[in-house]
Structure 1
């Protein structure tokens, strides 16, 4: 930047002359094709003086192409592999829903029967299409007729689908049972178990083919006497596998809950998604128990 400061008409004229001479000298010395662009403006400063402010802009080269940062080049790879559905005939539109590759017939080749036609479209411009989606392994995870408003550049990720599936995974109803069923005795084992559930797996509803599966892990029992929670095998029938011995008589409110190990699957194939919950606990169920002291009877 070249700045010449003078005040008054004569000073302004001299400034223009000096500026022209200096600019000419630059052109003579640096007469290369890439000449700097120079813009000069006459401005008045706060003290009343006039100032010629000249800004020089040199043209840059072609430069590097820049990095492929997010949104920079516009060539961001889609979140799914669309080549997995390139062989389907009638795939009029292809797009990603998370990591699932989907295609639709628009308009659909064959319409559903009247008894399967939906009641209301979500929007006025929605059309009824046949849609099929495949997972990253190329296996179909969902298909059927649905309302369609256009290709979706971004759909729910596998993580979001897994969390949605986990939200619909529920533990079975049960009650906390114990033996003796009413009154227990100090220094005699009391047995605990979960009455009602089976020892089998539990499964959620499918979220675009993604399901959450719970495998029985253990039960947790709090005898209610201040000793704390103890961990037992997943016991669903009367046995001594989960036992506790009270050392004080009294009325206690015991409680217990079920604990499952959780994993996720898509179309029967396991999904390894880091950072998601790997366990599910039921709510606590309470049970009251009376613990008595043993009575010795002396027979003469």
Structure 2
């Protein structure tokens, strides 16, 4: 095979590293810089694959309303390249890559026997390349969004007991305070490839059990007047069936980088924790 046919054959693969300068390419919009400074010739079929990227979000950033401009990477890579958002950065990768380092040059720590090395690139909103690296990918494995969903399923809300004051029993027309005794703060669910779901306590929902309905309170774990309710009627001997739960705000990360998946849950509610609250009409002394 001659040199020219060989180059054409390699170009048709979708991604070829050539030792030429960008000025040497006839279609500069199809040129990018690889992780070691080499020129990367990108498949420019159909005029570079441009457009608004409306259906180009084929990667981990699936769903509507991505936080980045995927149109900025719509013409990069092969037509079926994966494209996704990492925060405000638009990323793409050919999976599998058209060319990649010899397996003997791959770094140690291969996460799976079937994992291969792929080239990944991310651009900020100004079009600057902020990530240009080779990273691991498991062929036919779950997408980043699927991994994030798995990580969400691994989130375990903190156990706690619903405490109140005055201790033992409440008194009508006197504030009763509530808090989540023993509750922990941040919770984390993990999946493969460094994907994590992180839950941060947002607030408490407390239902005093007297028919007044649930109220929203700050997330408090020790005695405080931040979450208070005033009973207006005494209870029977069994007390009011009060209950509470923690509501978490959830976000997703991969190796410390924020991932945006509009289709995934952004909150998590713990199971209800219940406690009976006897309420009396009067008491000589109220001690908190």
Tell me, yes or no, whether TM beats 0.5.
Answer: yes
Q: Contact conserved, 2:171 with 2:283, CA < 8 A, in 1?
A: no
1:186 aligns with 2:198: no
Change in 2 beyond 3 A, CA 1:289/1:133: farther
Of residues 103, 108, 121 in structure 2, which corresponds to 1:91? 103
Contact 1:213–1:262 (CA under 8 A) maintained in structure 2: yes
For the Cα contact (< 8 Å) 1:191–1:244, is it kept in 2?
A: yes
In the alignment, is residue 277 of structure 1 matched against residue 280 of structure 2?
A: no
**Whole-angstrom CA distance in 2 between matches of 1:82 and 1:173:** 43
Alignment partner of 2:193: what SS?
coil
Deviation for aligned residue 1:290? 0.4
- Residue 288 of structure 1 aligns to a residue whose secondary structure is strand
Query: What residue in structure 2 maps to residue 260 of structure 1?
Result: 248
Determine helix, strand or coil for the equivalent of 1:204.
Answer: strand
The separation in 1 between residues aligned to 2:182 and 2:199, in whole angstroms, is 16
Structure 2 partner of 1:205: 190
Alignment of 1:228-247 (within 5 A): 228-247=213-232
Task: Structure 1 unaligned segments of length 5 or more: list them.
Answer: 1-64, 93-103, 113-126, 144-150
TM-score (norm 1): 0.54
**Larger RCO (CA within 8 A; separation ≥ 6):** 2
Count residues in correspondence.
190
Q: Distance in 2 between matches of 1:138 and 1:209?
A: 18
Measured after TM superposition, the shift of residue 128 of structure 1 is: 4.8
Residues 128 and 207 of structure 1: CA distance in aligned 2, closer, same or farther (over 3 Å): closer
1:29 aligns with none
Match for residue 81 of structure 1 among 90, 93, 97? 93
For residue 209 of structure 1, report the CA deviation from its aligned partner.
1.7
Q: Go from structure 1 to structure 2 and tell me whether the alpha carbon gap of 1:244 and 1:140 turns closer, same or farther (over 3 Å shift).
A: farther
Aligned partners of 1:270, 1:165: CA distance in 2, in Å?
14
Match of 2:205 among 193, 201, 220: 220
Please list every run of 5 or more consecutive structure 2 residues that lacks an aligned counterpart in the other structure.
1-45, 50-54, 57-77, 83-91, 122-130
Q: 2:217 & 2:98 partners in 1: Cα distance?
A: 52
1:163 is matched with which residue? 149
